[in-house]
Structure 1
Amino acid sequence: MSTLPISELTDRARDIFRLVVEGFISSGQPVGSKALASEGRVNLSPASIRSVLAELEMLGLLAAPHTSAGRMPTESGLRLFVDGMMQVAEPTREERAAIEHSVGQPGPIEQALEATSAILSDISGAAGMVMVPRREPRLAQMNLVALSPERALAILVGEDGQIENRVLNLTQPTAASSLEQASNYITARLSGRTLADAERLMRAEISSGRSALDDASRDLVERGLAVWSADAAARPVLIIRGQANLLDETALGDIERVRSLLDDLENKQSVAGLLENARQADATRIFIGAENRLFALSGSSVIASPYRDRDGKVVGVLGVIGPTRLNYARVVPMVDFTAHSLGKRIG
């Protein structure tokens, strides 16, 4: 992160620096003195502009690629711009409506998370990311209902009223009385507990022989625990959508960087670890390039915001990842708005 306060730049240097950063974010290409002079936004000769650009380069805020006479912001320069000069642009009415529509669709929460990640990607032009909420709902009851002699339906009811169903394949035909006994046993021990707590209690009772279950009912209990435990373990830690957006025209000239980024995104546990750094933030956080070790090689930026339930508790993090030339002024408030919208959906 740059230690240079924005106040130490002259008005002339500040104006030119801002134009270079905005031009780079817009085009992905270095900005030269002739372009700045021809636009008429700087009342200086190309020679004077080149002098200012050289000063900004010496300060570590701009860099000159080998193949161009123009300048582009360094990661320190981008940090200075984001922290001291950026003027955010609130999402448009259409963007807000699209976000609320995607996030608010009825159905399982996983579908809302998928839709949230996709809409972030579509609107930002980068890849959208959403961490699955860390929630262990307390359970009310579990019922086992016969579907056929070889299959049963396990119905799990949470204290919050949510209902989920799973189909169990039975090893042998099972009597209705065994299904009822297993249902009553599980419900009596999981009521008011999380699945993990109930599972530990039931497994301890079964293994110690303290349960009064017959063999068929014991098998049903263990199968019910297995299907729900496997379901919880298989749920994704992180949902990422829109990786194809990272392969834009400017990326073709730096394909190794993009390949490195895509490889990093494959390791979702590591990406989730990075997003964890934003869980305790009061506002949207911005990680630029080497500021995060995970994406240091790919030179990418992450904009992330925690989202909260109606009680104000942080339950997850969402955001976008893309090249360092992300349109921060536009994407930051977009991510923030999406976090608030998803929080309302989580309840």
Structure 2
Amino acid sequence: MTAPPITELTTRAREIFRLVVEGYIETGAPVGSKLLAGADGVNLSPASIRSVLADLERAGLLSAPHTSAGRMPTESGLRLFVDGMMQVAEPTEQERATIERELANPGPVETALSRTSEALSNLSACAGVVMVPPREPRLDQFSLVPLGQGRALVVMVGEDGGIENRVIEVPAGAGPSALEQAANFISAQLQGRTLPEASQAVRHELDADRASLDAAARDLAERGLAILSEDAARRPVLIVRGQARLLDDGAVADLERVRSLIDDIERSEQVARLLDSARDAQAARIFIGSENKLFSLSGSSVIASPYRDREGRVIGVVGVIGPTRLNYARLVPMVDFTARSLGHSLGNPRG
């Protein structure tokens, strides 16, 4: 059933509807006519309120669970409320400080994104999610530095100045000359290429046996190739934190739904596709229940907002996943603020 426009509701119906939605969001329980009759500004008898509730139910905005005489909003009702009645509340100073503090810590980009997702989860009591931008820097240098005790340090430098280090085992008999020979061979193949491209080029040369390498240097080149391949493959696409927060006290009576939601979140590729559909949004995009197929069975909602680099290009999406009774008025601006802060942080050099 298509919900009526908010303008078609009477002032009395809008007020009752608002109270039901806000009461449900706060408690997670259906709201009854007696409770509504005691609300400030409602000068109606319980009988009159029940009549309004019945009208709202017929309009597809409310439903009455068979176990309760109260009403709760349908997904259509929540959508109407979010689009036409919700008054957002900006994040508090403490909430802003928490998010900015996590982003200010030095370290790899993935670590910052993980901390951001965790902070968003803590503040929202939902699962925090961050879709990581595809990070494919073009490489400029590749070095093998002997560390002693049969180990060497792989140093990869990107054209953007980023440096990544890995420690590998050195085969017996591989001296400094073998390290230099292997590093020079790999460097010749990777300059200006991304990790996947460099990995493919090195493998092609080795398979074609065009590399004039001795056995030790070839072994080292194979180990360097493994590093390139592993790094290209293990770049995370989606970071999810705080799934356990979905198992709050209010979930006890609905464990099957929560279990279904957690199972859905584990399907990281599908969650990433859902978040990716918010890339073109100017601000937070809200998916309520069955509006997205992934969470239709668990009856869950997603609030997602894109974050941008200094040139305004979208490089990822951040958001929260939780039950449909999310406090949208509080979380929408919080997700938007996190997206702006994340974009600003990633647009500046990290220590």
Same structural fold, with TM-score higher than 0.5 when normalized by the shorter chain? yes
Q: Aligned partners of 1:222, 1:228: CA distance in 2, in Å? A: 10
Q: Aligned partners of 2:203, 2:190: CA distance in 1, in Å? A: 12
Q: Give 1:215 shift.
A: 2.7
Q: Aligned partners of 2:252, 2:41: CA distance in 1, in Å? A: 31
Q: Deviations over 1:118-150 (max 9, x none)?
A: 111111111111112212111110110112252
Q: Aligned partners of 2:265, 2:241: CA distance in 1, in Å? A: 10
Q: Aligned partners of 1:256, 1:52: CA distance in 2, in Å? A: 32
Q: Give 1:43 shift.
A: 1.4
Q: Aligned partners of 1:48, 1:290: CA distance in 2, in Å? A: 32
The question of 1:73 aligning with 2:73 is answered yes
Q: Is the 8 A contact 2:199 2:228 kept in 1?
A: no
Q: Deviations over 1:295-339 (max 9, x none)?
A: 111110010111122222222111101110000010001001101
- Give ranges in structure 2 of 5+ residues lacking alignment: none
Q: Give 1:189 shift.
A: 2.5
Aligned to 2:125: 125
The question of 1:341 aligning with 2:319 is answered no
Q: Is the 8 A contact 1:141 1:191 kept in 2?
A: yes
Q: Give 1:214 shift.
A: 2.6
CA RMSD of aligned residues (A): 1.5
User: In structure 2, what residue type is equivalent to 1:169?
Assistant: E
Q: Aligned partners of 1:185, 1:312: CA distance in 2, in Å? A: 38
Aligned to 1:150: 150
In the TM superposition, what are the counterparts of 1:203-282 in structure 2 within 5 Å? Answer: 203-282=203-282
User: In structure 2, what residue type is equivalent to 1:104?
Assistant: A
Q: Aligned partners of 2:208, 2:241: CA distance in 1, in Å? A: 47
In the TM superposition, what are the counterparts of 1:22-37 in structure 2 within 5 Å? Answer: 22-37=22-37
Q: Is the 8 A contact 2:132 2:316 kept in 1?
A: yes
Aligned to 2:326: 326
- Give ranges in structure 1 of 5+ residues lacking alignment: none
With the length of structure 1 as denominator, give the TM-score of the two structures: 0.96
Q: Give 1:3 shift.
A: 4.6
Q: Which portions of structure 1, spanning 4 or more consecutive aligned residues, are displaced by more than 6 angstroms?
A: none
User: In structure 1, what residue type is equivalent to 2:159?
Assistant: E
Q: Secondary structure at the match of 1:65?
A: coil
Q: Is the 8 A contact 1:174 1:216 kept in 2?
A: yes
User: In structure 2, what residue type is equivalent to 1:32?
Assistant: G
Aligned to 1:54: 54
User: Could you tell me the percent identity over the aligned residues?
Assistant: 67
Q: Is the 8 A contact 2:189 2:198 kept in 1?
A: yes
Q: Aligned partners of 2:11, 2:26: CA distance in 1, in Å? A: 22
Query: How many residues matched?
Result: 347
Aligned to 1:160: 160
User: In structure 2, what residue type is equivalent to 1:185?
Assistant: F
Q: Is the 8 A contact 1:21 1:78 kept in 2?
A: yes
Q: Aligned partners of 1:251, 1:88: CA distance in 2, in Å? A: 25
Q: Secondary structure at the match of 1:164?
A: strand
